[in-house]
Amino acid sequence: MCQCGNCKKDQYMEELLNKFKPEKDNLIQILNSVQEHYGYISEKSQKEISEYLNISMAEIYGVITFYSRFTLKPKGKYNIAICLGTACFVKGSEKIMDRAKERLKIMPGETTKDGIFSLEETRCIGACGLAPVFTVNDEVHGNATVSQLDKVIDEILNKEREEKV
Amino acid sequence: MKTILVCHGTGCTSSKSTNIIENFKNIIQNRNIENVEVVQTGCFGLCAKGPVVIIRPENIFYAKVKPEDCEEIIQKHIIEDQLVERLLYRDANGEISKRLDEIDFYKKQKRIALKNCGSIDPEKIDDYIAVDGYKALEKVLKEMTKDEVIEEITKSGLRGRGGAGFPTGKKWLFAKQAEGEQKYVVCNADEGDPGAFMDRSILEGDPHCVIEAMMIAGYVIGANKGYIYVRAEYPIAVHRFQIAIDQARERGILGKNIFGTDFEFDVEIRLGAGAFVCGEETALLESIEGRRGQPRIKPPFPANKGLWQCPTLINNVETYANIPKIILNGSDWYSKIGTEGSKGTKVFALGGNVKNIGLVEVPMGTTLREIVYDIGGGIPNGREFKAAQTGGPSGGCIPAQYLDTPIDYESLKQIGSMMGSGGLIVMDDSKCMVNLAKFYLGFTVSESCGKCNPCRIGTKRMYEILEKLTNGEGTLEDIDKLEKLATTVANSSICGLGQSAPNPVISTLKYFREEFIEHAVEKKCRAHECKALAKIQITPEKCKGCGLCQKSCPVNAIKGEGREVRYINEEECIKCGTCLNKCPFKAIG
């Protein structure tokens, strides 16, 4: 399962690729699985897919960068995703996003230097009844406010500090 | 026998309905209670009151149930046969409705596409079969010719529910007539409109009805393979649809010799990966084939050259969901519902500044007022209705003077909006329409695939103009430029995304032009949304020194102590506006 680049065999990738026929139309399915498993798609994974499906690296890169779900860089330990779907936008999710940018000092799509936080702007996650909504990893925070976001960030920071000590 | 139905749609799952199901099951097992069944269902629709629990046969509706409430519901309702009053549904005036059918939200609705959503367990094929599931398929295979099916659908008046409203019968006919040995049936479940969740709810609540309709389509056009293209952002829908496919295969419903005939069919799921443009049919086909989802030039249309250049029929989830019901009940029954040009019902995801956020299905021709006020319960916080947006980033806004417009394909088009896939976002008077136009344009800018110049560059330039306006740097000339550019982009883009991208701008300009002018000339945003134009102040005469605003300020920019009149330190203020709503004396503005 290693992504260090030195190990030759990646067991997960091998098992995953064996599940699919080496046909071009499986590319997006494979990328979805890799993204879900590792949280991003490394160059090493891309090479393995390229060899297996006999597609050029350039084409794979083209597909990865086209779809917003795929990322080339790892996400933070806590991925804060703020819904900017219309229902949430109308209920003020823009303010929550502004606050997150200010607190974390990163832009959507970026990860903090310490690797603790990453910020993401998502389109509708379908919890419109709870708008505005943000998620931290998979946990949904509904009827969100700026102070609720502050609280969540503070809690994570405290936890991380304690763990360090 | 009592049945406890627990909503397990995405909305209620986000507020822990999975734990509610577990708790109910554990309590029933531990206490050895008999004659009670717990069923996880799809969306009930009233998401604002979620998680929702309904107890049958009496149809009692419990709202906002928490996992820790399960014990009380079991003890009081199931064992002592009394109602748990505190959890009953209360409307905005505090009036209690005990049963589902007493709730205003449901009274004006007519459920056809959503018929089984919320009443069957989507993970059990037997539940679907028990409500006449797969009977339409059997009828088609055993009793009807292909042409009869097409005629029935044509006569029903069903039109594509993805937004454009192309007559479904005609689409099927073209795909049937197209020549080719291999044909495909595709279901478009790439529901990208932010704030819309109709298709997702159907897939989560009643996946088999979509499989059944795809099979009927396969039989009619002569295809043996179907693909459903679903957003990867819908994990529950994907999971349930896969279960449904597996169960149908196990039962021999999907496979060879279906119902003893020589018809064969199989369905496969293809996941999207977060690209709005893939909702466009040819972009979707490119994506299924494993490429960047960039639209193809039409013609040829997918009916002639679609997936891998083979004739392909593409319909949206909600369109398919109507098919089995039309086959079973007949086209006459269906065509009696709705208006002259738009038959049947339409599902809307009602969201934004409205009390009852949720999923509604109404007959075509229902007015916007009925949806917003009678079903939606009106605007919360004592505010006024300002506009509603249908069709998401491709649609337009509908101002208050058109509240009585009947909702159908033609009427919406006439007033500059469109039916769209069913997103219906209500906005109150605290929303800035210039900022809203900017929001939608920002969406299309980031979702434009980049294939054609008008969309790639044009939407970006339009966004920049809107940014200038919201920053207080715009001029009247900019507004004219914006309008001109909007027309150019709409007329010269190659696919539906680009052609419709200017709609939110065109319609807000049409109905709220004075707000654009205010931004440009007076540098004023009447809704206080555009931060660069905002100046938040406390009116000393109105301030009573209660300090509520001070507590709410996230950056401690509000100064003053005790009962003193408060003031805002402008340098520290981030103009977030949190204090605006906190002041009980309306002293902040």
Residues A63-113 have pLDDT tens digits of 999 999 999 989 899 999 999 988 899 898 999 999 999 999 999 989 999
Residues 83-112 of A with CB under 8 A from B: 84-91, 94-95, 98-99, 102
Percent of chain B scoring above 90 in pLDDT: 86
| A95–B578 C-beta distance less than 8 A | yes
CA B433 to the chain's CA centroid = 21
Helix (H, G, I), strand (E, B) or coil at B91: coil
Residue B473 structure tokens? 């740097």
What's the rounded Cα separation, in Å, for the pair B583 and B587?
7
Q: How many CB atoms lie within 10 A of CB A105?
A: 12
**Starting at the edge strand that comes first in sequence, how are the strands of the sheet with B266-271 ordered?**
B266-271, B225-230, B184-189, B312-316
What's the rounded Cα separation, in Å, for the pair A153 and B120?
40
User: In this predicted structure, what is the pLDDT of residue A4?
Assistant: 55
Residue B427 structure tokens? 């906005």
Cβ–Cβ < 8 Å for B47, B92: no
Asked whether the bond before B454 is cis by omega within 30 degrees of 0, the reply is: no
Widest distance between CA atoms in chain B = 85
pLDDT at A7 over 80: no
A49 touches chain B (CB under 8 A): no
Helix (H, G, I), strand (E, B) or coil at A90: helix
Taking residues A149-164, what's their average pLDDT?
Answer: 93
Q: What domains sit in chain A, N to C, each tagged with a CATH number?
A: 11-66 (no CATH), 78-164 (3.40.30.10)
What is the 3-class SS of B353-371, one letter each residue? Answer: CCCCCEEEEEECCCEHHHH
Cβ–Cβ < 8 Å for B545, B560: yes
User: In this predicted structure, what is the pLDDT of residue B407?
Assistant: 94
Question: Residue B353: which of A90, A130, A146 has the nearest Cβ?
Answer: A90
Question: Residue B289: which of A25, A84, A128 has the nearest Cβ?
Answer: A25
User: In this predicted structure, what is the pLDDT of residue B456?
Assistant: 96
What's the rounded Cα separation, in Å, for the pair B428 and B385?
5
Helix (H, G, I), strand (E, B) or coil at B102: helix
Helix (H, G, I), strand (E, B) or coil at B60: strand
Q: How far is CA B167 from CA B113, B189, B307, B473, B490, in A?
A: 17, 19, 21, 46, 23
Cβ–Cβ < 8 Å for B219, B323: no
Which of B92, B113, B114 has the alpha carbon at shortest distance from B103?
B92
Which parts of chain B have pLDDT scores under 70?
A: none
User: In this predicted structure, what is the pLDDT of residue A9?
Assistant: 59
* Residue in this structure with the two tokens 């006020």, named with its chain if needed: B373
| Prediction pTM value | 0.90
Q: Which residues from chain B sit within 8 angstroms of residue A86, using beta carbons?
A: 193-195, 351-352, 389, 392, 423, 425, 439-440
| Cβ-based neighbours of B488, under 8 Å, separated by 6 or more | B454, B458
Which of B211, B224, B209 has the alpha carbon at shortest distance from B265?
B224
| A31–B273 C-beta distance less than 8 A | yes
* Residue in this structure with the two tokens 């056809």, named with its chain if needed: B112
User: In this predicted structure, what is the pLDDT of residue A1?
Assistant: 44
B388: which strand partners? B398, B426
* Residue in this structure with the two tokens 């002041």, named with its chain if needed: B583
Q: How far is CA B518 from CA B247, B303, B384, B385, B427, in A?
A: 60, 49, 20, 20, 19
CA dihedral sign, ordered B175, B179, B183, B189: negative
Taking residues A3-30, what's their average pLDDT?
Answer: 84
Q: What domains sit in chain B, N to C, each tagged with a CATH number?
A: 2-103 (3.40.30.10), 125-334 (3.40.50.11540), 345-428 (3.10.20.600), 433-522 (1.20.1440.230), 535-589 (3.30.70.20)
Helix (H, G, I), strand (E, B) or coil at A120: strand
A44 touches chain B (CB under 8 A): no
Report H helices in B206-270: 207-221, 235-250
CA B340 to the chain's CA centroid = 25
What's the rounded Cα separation, in Å, for the pair B209 and B202?
9
